[in-house]
Amino acid sequence: MTVLIKNGHVVDPLTKKDGVYDVLVEGKKIQKIAEKIDEKADRVIDARGTYVLPGFIDLHVHLRDPGLEYKETLETGGRAAVHGGVTTICAMPNTKPVIDSREKVEAVHERAVKESPAHVIQLGAVTCGQEGKELADIAGMAAAGCHAISEDGKSVMNASLYRKGMKEAKKAGISVFAHCEDITMVEGGVMNADENAKRLGLKGITNSVEDVIVARDILLAKETGVRLHLCHCSTKDSVTMVEMAKKEGLPVTAEVCPHHFILTSDDIKEDDGNFKMNPPLRSREDVEALRMGLKNGIMDVISTDHAPHSEEEKNRSIEKASFGIVGLETSAALTYTELVKTGVLSIMDMAEKMSYNPAQILGLTEKGAVAEGKIADLVIFDPDANYKIDKNTFFSKGKNTPFDGREVYGRVEYTLADGEIVYEYQDTRKV
């Protein structure tokens, strides 16, 4: 299969190419990029007025498969991913059962090739069953192609055990993705600890619940030398600590999710479970620090923490609802609208944070770039498309988003994975 993408604005974080080019895709690879390519192709895409970006790599996704298929599956999550321009997903291991062995990683990888249009990298848990008691088979899972271990959903509270896990990960050449939350300090909190929580009569989660574990995990990474990636950072002190770690030259990276750089706790007007996630929406000050962190390069990655739940689990009060919101199908448009259109990031920065930097963290040298010889995982993105987010257009089983009805700019027109067109926008409203 050959695909010729004509006159698109190529944005390549690897070569820093940033201009209008033709791109020829042959088989799985980007064959040629030039000002004018006239070769014949099976498919010609007119990309005038759109950006040609490297396929997004989402380091933080919950596919819920195996065991929680009523929330999401490899197939529905994969389809949601390519709808959002995401061509590689890191699937968190908090499934049923928890992914904590070589065989379980291999089983997901085998199925994902058949069932998901996006590439899936299954992450392994740090401890067996995420019970925090004994280490999972970290070496075995690394051998099965899990590029990182993570206890996401919680922290490994036993620092000694976590340190041992980090040493194993370091030995196996993989990273640790850290969910930072001191569970002993949550004390029943369900949203940010502030005036709005008081108004709603809900228990609060303070910033220190996150911050003390960020500090601990950075220190443990310093001691063990493991590559540490901090998940869903939500506080201004997290940004400060990541900056300190980087100044010291520690192998620490960090991600921010769109909801944390867009919404504040004050956006929770009524008791609505779709605004409940972990960590919670924070203050304006935190949001500004996260935006500045992204702008000045302290925060490396934009990921979604796509966390689908059923209607029944989310259409409850904040106290009773499950933690988590979906993100795969809204992340590109929200990032473009809120950060690129407003001048916080350039389109090149967006490509770096959503694709190139995640590829670097995972060690995927053939991905994250629109360059000759690289894998043709690509997104064709129309920055001028203006519409309202409609959860009913999601391919995900999860419709749990606080962004339903929000006006955005930017739409994924085509997604290519391994040189195949795996998603193509169809304007059903015209029919």
Ligand X SMILES: NC(=O)N[C@@H](CC(=O)O)C(=O)O
Q: Choose the one of ligand X, Zn ion, none that binds residue 282, judging by a C-beta under 5 to 8 angstroms depending on kind.
A: none
Q: Which one from 58, 286, 305, 382 is the annotated catalytic residue?
A: 305
**Which CB atom, from 28 or from 154, has the smaller least distance to ligand X?**
154
Total binding residues toward Zn ion, as defined by CB under 5 A: 3
Shortest distance (Å) from residue 157 CB to ligand X: 14
Q: Which is nearer to Zn ion, 278 or 335 (CB)?
A: 278
Q: Which is nearer to ligand X, 323 or 387 (CB)?
A: 323
425 makes contact with ligand X (CB under 6 A): no
What is the C-alpha to C-alpha distance for residues 262 and 264, in angstroms, rounded to an integer? 7
Q: Which two tokens stand for residue 413?
A: 């027109």
Nearer to ligand X (CB atom), residue 92 or residue 138:
92
The reply on whether position 179 binds Zn ion by CB under 5 A is yes
What are the beta bridge partners of residue 375? 29
- If one asks whether residue 358 binds ligand X (CB under 6 A), the answer comes out as no
Taking the C-alpha atoms of residue 427 and residue 215, their distance in angstroms, rounded to an integer, is 47
Whether 305 is catalytic is yes
Using CB under 6 A as the binding rule, whether residue 62 contacts ligand X is answered as yes
Q: Are 168 and 142 in contact (CB under 8 A)?
A: no
- 399: contact with ligand X by CB under 6 A: no
* 306 is an annotated ligand-binding site residue: no
Out of 150, 155, 274, 278, the only residue in the binding site for ligand X (CB under 6 A) is 278
**Which of 37, 47, 53, 52 is CA-nearest to residue 2?**
37
Can residue 119 be called a binding residue for ligand X (CB under 6 A)? Answer: no
Residue type, 60: H
Query: What span, in angstroms and rounded, lies between the C-alpha atoms of 102 and 4?
Result: 40
Cα-to-chain-centroid distance, residue 150: 14
- Residue 259 annotated as lining a ligand binding site: no
- Tell whether residue 329 is a contact of ligand X (CB under 6 A): no
280 touches ligand X (CB under 6 A): no
Q: Is 282 in the site for ligand X (CB under 6 A)?
A: no
For residue 72, state whether it binds Zn ion (rule: CB under 5 A).
no
CB-based contacts of 262: which residues, under 8 Å, 6+ apart? 287, 334, 338
> Is 309 annotated as a binding-site member?
yes
Q: Which is nearer to ligand X, 43 or 154 (CB)?
A: 154
260 vs 367 by CB, closer to ligand X: 260
Q: Is 64 annotated as a binding residue?
A: yes
Is 147 annotated as contributing to ligand binding? no
Distance CA 343, CA 100 (A): 42
141-200 residues near ligand X, rule: CB under 6 A: 152-153, 179
- Single residue of 78, 132, 273, 324 touching ligand X by CB under 6 A: 324
Say whether residue 352 binds Zn ion (CB under 5 A): no
| 62 is an annotated ligand-binding site residue | yes
**How many CB atoms are closer than 10 A to CB 32?**
16
Is residue 94 annotated as involved in ligand binding?
yes
| In the complex, least distance from residue 34 CB atom to ligand X, rounded to whole angstroms | 43
Task: Decide if residue 305 touches ligand X (CB under 6 A).
Answer: yes
* Candidate list 4, 41, 61, 277; residue touching ligand X; CB under 6 A: 277
**213 vs 369, beta carbon nearer ligand X:** 213
Site mask for Zn ion (CB under 5 A), range 120-159, x = bound: --------------------------------x-------
Which residues from 76-95 bind ligand X, rule CB under 6 A?
94
Binding site for Zn ion (CB under 5 A): 152, 179, 305
Q: Which residues are annotated as a binding site?
A: 60, 62-64, 94, 152, 179, 232, 278, 305, 309, 323-324
Question: Binding residues for ligand X, per CB under 6 A?
Answer: 62, 94, 152-153, 179, 277-278, 305, 307, 323-324
Catalytic positions? 305
